[in-house]
Every structure is written in C-alpha cells, then in structure tokens.
Amino acid sequence: MRHENTWLPAMTPPTATAAPLLTATRLAFARDDEPVFGPLDFSVGRGETLLVEGDNGSGKTTLLRVLAGMLPASSGEIRFHGSPASRDSRNGHALLLSHRSGMHEALSPRENLAFLAGLYGQRDGMTIESVMARVGIAAWLDEPLRTLSAGQKKRVGLARLLLVPGDIWLLDEPYANLDRHGIDLVNALIAEHCARGGAALVTSHGAVRFADPNARHIRLDAQEKAEPSANERE
Amino acid sequence: MATNPSSAIERPRTRRAEGFRTPNAWRACLALLRRDFTLAWRRRGELFLPLLYAVIVTALFPFALGPDPQLLGRIAGGVLLVIVVLAMLPALESMFRSDLDDGTLEQWLLAPQPLALLALTRVIAHWLTTVLPLIVVMPLLGALLDLPSAVLPVLMLALLLATPLLALLGSVLSALAAGARRSGILLALMLLPLAVPVVIFAAGAVAAAQNGMPYAAPLAWLAAALVLAIVLAPLACAAALKIAVEA
C-alpha cells in the first residue's frame, strides 16, 4: 500500500504546531452588497477534517472558492501556514475539487491528469497509473472521459487530488454522484490524507453521513445574515 | 514511501512544499501545448472548416469577377488577406469557451502558474492549429487568383506577422466575451475595428511589392505591433479570464 500513513512525527520540526494549516478570521463574502456567508472564524490544523454543512444556496461553494483564491473575500483574513493568503502562500497547499472537473470530455483520464500534473506539479511517488488504480478505475485510463459515468468522472477528480500536491483539500460535495463504495472511497481518501498530515474541508448538504465522528462542523445558513459570527462549534 | 522523508506531503514552515516536483512554468506550457494539440488532432475535422472556407471563397472569385488575369492579379493580395482574416474569426470565439464551461479555466487560475503565460501558450497553440494551415495553402490560393509569384513571399510574410497579431487581439476579446452566450457576433464587431489597421499595413506591404516598391516599412510596423501584442495582450487576456471565471 503506497497510501498508508506517511506522516512521521519525528520529521516534524518543533515549530510545526505554531500555525494551523488554514485560519480564517472574520471571513465574509458579499455579492453586490448581498451577504453570502460569514463572518466566519475557524481554523484547520494538520490531520483535521472540517465539515461545512448547509442547505442549497447557503454559500458552501462560495466559501470554498474564496478559500481557494478564486474569489476575493469581502472582509476578513485567510492565512495558510500562518502567512496571509496569496498566490504564493497557497502554492502547493490548497486544492479545490469543485462541481466542474476541469477536464475535457474528449480527452482520456490519462491525458487530463497529465495536463493537470503539468500545471500543479506531481507528488513524489505518485503516478497517473497508481492514482487511477487507487480510485478503482484503472481500466478506464485511456478511454475518452465522455464515455465514463458521472460517478467515474468524480473518481477521476479524486485521482487528481492524489496526484498533485496540496495539503488542504477543499472538497465541494465530493459525495455527489457516487455509489456506496464511492462514498467509502472518499472517506478513506480523506482519512489517509489527514493521517499523512493533510487537512480537508468538506461541504455537504447533509444527505451523506460523514464517516469520521470526530470531524468538526461549520454550519452555514442561508438566513444567517442577521446572526452574529462564531458559527464554529466543536 | 514511508522511509523517504521527502515523500511525506510536505512539512510545515516550508513555503514551497518539498514532497513534489516544483511545477515550473515551462512544464506547464508544454503540458498545455500537448493537451491542445491532442484535442486538435481528435477534432481535426473541425480544423478543415476554415481551410475549406478559404479555398471555396477564393475559387468563387474568378467566377464572380470574370477570368481576367490582370484584374485578378491586381486584387489577389487584398482578397486573400481579407479571406484569411474572415476565416480566422469563427475559431477565435471558441478559444476559451469550452475551458470556461468544463472548469479548465478554474484550474488555470488556481494553479501556481502565471496566467498570462498560459494565455500566451493557448494563443500559440490556437494559431498553430487553426491559422498556420491557412498560410500553408496560400501558394495554392494565390495560384487560383493568379497572384504574381514575386508577391507571394511578401504576402505570406505579411500574413505570418498579421495573423498572430490578430490572434492575440482576438484572445483578449474572446476572453472578455467567453462568459456571454452566442458571443460570435459581438466578437466580430469588436475585432473588426482592431483588424483594420492590421489589414492596412499587411495590404500596404503586398501592394508595394506588387508595384515593385520597397515593402519593408509596413512589415516592420506589423512586426513592431506583434512584439507589443506578445507582451501586452496576454496580460489583458489574463485579466479578462479572471473576470470570466469569477462571474
């Protein structure tokens, strides 16, 4: 198994605990003066999973897009490893899995993953073959993406998370379109990632039970505009 | 893997994590070029359309104007220039469309790569796959219109300078219009005013060559504009792409 626990406490410098992987302070986003979410305060440390819950339209996707750097926050601050979020501090840290896969339907998973690995770099010890085998669709490596089912495409997206470097996974509805085995796979991948010292933010509309009972939750509510902050609870 | 310290995802306090090959911009551009060429090859039927368009329109001119070699020879340079510009237009619209739809542009934005460089790479790939074939068949099209053989090299040189310039200008507009549905007409309306000076200089060089006059000056102007566009257009294109993705 190449995906077993590779996080060795002895390797970690003493300063490691100083800064969490990701910290958000009074983070808020508004579109045309219409508040979408926040202000939120939370931090995610190594090995932690944060479950972002909320109904449709409550701003879960927007929160992940802001954290990934695709949208500028209206107010508040994001820090990666203790330094303010920027293109450079995100480099190799934040990885977003969104509804749109970023893959072309006419290309095979191998060609798509090769392109994305060219953009992001490639994690040591990982090959396109090995990550496709890990997500269980190695047989589809050279088939055009359009011949794959929605669930299989989702798995190719998961393969990308394994292939390219990034310690904070921002997973937007990773369970969508997946069967029971797929859901178990997502949970196993998140657990392995956290065991290696990574962290994950996972959005869900609450239909799927998240495996880790110790995961922390943030709840986003569409009507939360009137509410004060401090939505984080253990 | 567990025995190799550098293969853990990454250690804290290292700005650039060590557990992976640092993605460099050169590799990213090569990956993008390879992807675009693969896609172009998969859809090579579509690439023939502009070519076919240019051949058909050129072949129709002698029928419409009458087979007077002198008349055809005189207008051939300008006609071929305009045909190439028009044949370029439809493909420009789709330069970023599918990437916006399937989320590839999101990945461009999120990846630790200079967006402008990726945009420039895309323009190069686009030019090589959709415009270069038009220039390659120029001797054939020139023959159809009885273009004087001395003018042909000047025409091809003018096109080699003018079409990348138009593709770069078009990339900015294409990025701006990418978010809008059915932006083809909009794009054409926006591009044509920008295409006018380019066509004027290219046609100026061809006309000068046809009259046996020095034609270096208009070509030099085109080259200067191209150099400027190579530097500035990708920056504008990157800004427009950011807007398109955030919208």
Task: Give me the sign of the Cα torsion angle B117, B118, B121, B127.
Answer: negative
**Residues in B touching A105 (Cβ below 8 Å):** 102
pLDDT grade for B181, boundaries at 50, 70 and 90: confident
Superfamily of domain A21-93+167-234: P-loop containing nucleotide triphosphate hydrolases (3.40.50.300)
Task: Decide the pairing of beta strands A199-204 and A34-44.
Answer: unpaired
Nearest residue of B to residue A45 by CA position? B12
Q: Could you tell me what percent of chain A has a pLDDT over 70?
A: 82
Residue A72 reports pLDDT greater than 90:
no
Q: Which of B14, B38, B107, B241 is the mutation pick for testing A, counting most A CBs within 10 A?
A: B107
pLDDT of residue A59: 85
Tokens representing A228 are: 């004060």
Asked if A170 and A64 touch (Cβ cutoff 8 Å), the reply is: yes
pLDDT of residue A11: 40
Query: Which residues does residue A233 pair with via DSSP β-bridges, in sequence order?
Result: A217
**Residues in B touching A90 (Cβ below 8 Å):** 112
List the strands of the sheet with A216-220, edge to edge.
A94-97, A168-171, A199-204, A49-54, A216-220
pLDDT of residue B21: 53
pLDDT grade for A214, boundaries at 50, 70 and 90: low
**Residues in A touching B2 (Cβ below 8 Å):** 4-6, 8
Among B238, B174, B55, A149, smallest CA distance to A157 is for A149
Mean pLDDT of chain B: 87
Q: Is the ipTM of this complex over 0.90?
A: no
How far is Cα B207 from Cα A162, in angstroms, rounded to an integer? Answer: 59
The residues near B54 (Cβ < 8 Å, ≥ 6 apart) are: B83, B84, B87, B134, B137, B141
Ranges for all domains in chain A classified under CATH 3.40.50.300 = 21-93+167-234
How far is Cα B121 from Cα A17, in angstroms, rounded to an integer? Answer: 41
For A87-113, the pLDDT digits (tens) are 777 776 888 998 888 899 999 999 999
Q: What is the DSSP letter of B211?
A: T
**Cβ of B20 and A81 within 8 Å?**
no
Q: Could you tell me what percent of chain B has a pLDDT over 70?
A: 91
Task: Enter the pTM of the model.
Answer: 0.84
Mean pLDDT of A120-135: 90
Among B231, B222, B219, B229, smallest CA distance to B167 is for B229
For B115-166, the pLDDT digits (tens) are 999 999 999 999 999 999 999 999 999 999 999 999 999 999 999 999 999 9
For A8-37, the pLDDT digits (tens) are 443 444 444 557 888 888 988 888 888 888
Q: Which of A44, A48, A74, A104 is the mutation pick for testing B, counting most B CBs within 10 A?
A: A104
Task: Decide the pairing of beta strands A75-80 and A22-31.
Answer: antiparallel
Residue B16 reports pLDDT greater than 70:
no
- Residue B138 identity: M
pLDDT grade for B9, boundaries at 50, 70 and 90: very low
CA distance B111 to chain A (A): 6
pLDDT of residue A35: 86
Asked if B198 and B166 touch (Cβ cutoff 8 Å), the reply is: yes
For A147-206, the pLDDT digits (tens) are 999 889 999 999 999 999 888 999 998 888 888 888 899 999 999 999 988 999 998 776
Q: Could you check whether the bond before residue A39 is cis, i.e. omega within 30 degrees of 0?
A: yes
